Amino acid sequence: MATYLMLSSLTDEGRKTLKQRPERLQEVNKELESMGGRVISQYAVLGLYDFVTILEAPSNEVVARISVELGARGTVSITTLPAMDVSTFTDILKASAK
């Protein structure tokens, strides 16, 4: 499974929903899992984004579908980044230097 960082910003509608129903956050995480992803960890943050979610998924296509599916609701804007472990990254660099 590949690792992804999902950076989420709530819309006005999303903030209203979350204020009225804080448990909605866990419900959305379960929906994400039903779409083929798995939440590894999630953080509420201050600044440009409201949440940082670290998730695993089998492919970019699955994450793209999750992103579009969640974003189409109009409650959140999402930026998703593929990520790799630093040790994997250094192994790639070492292999390319040979």
Domain boundaries, the chain: 2-97
- What sign results for the dihedral spanned by CA atoms 35, 43, 16, 25? positive
**Owner of token pair 């943050």:** 45
CATH superfamily of the 2-97 domain: Dimeric alpha+beta barrel (3.30.70.1060)
Name the residue with tokens 């819309």: 11
pLDDT at residue number 49: 98
Is 11 exposed, middle or buried (CB count within 10 Å of its CB: 0-12, 13-18, 19+)? middle
The pLDDT score that the predictor gives to residue 97 is 79
With vertex at residue 39, the alpha carbon angle to CA 34 and CA 41, rounded to the nearest 5 degrees, is: 165
Q: pLDDT 10s digit of each residue in the chain, 98 long? A: 999 999 999 999 999 999 999 999 999 999 999 999 999 999 999 999 999 999 999 999 999 999 999 999 999 999 999 999 999 999 999 898 77
Q: Please report where in the chains the tokens 């009225």 appear, as a residue.
A: 20
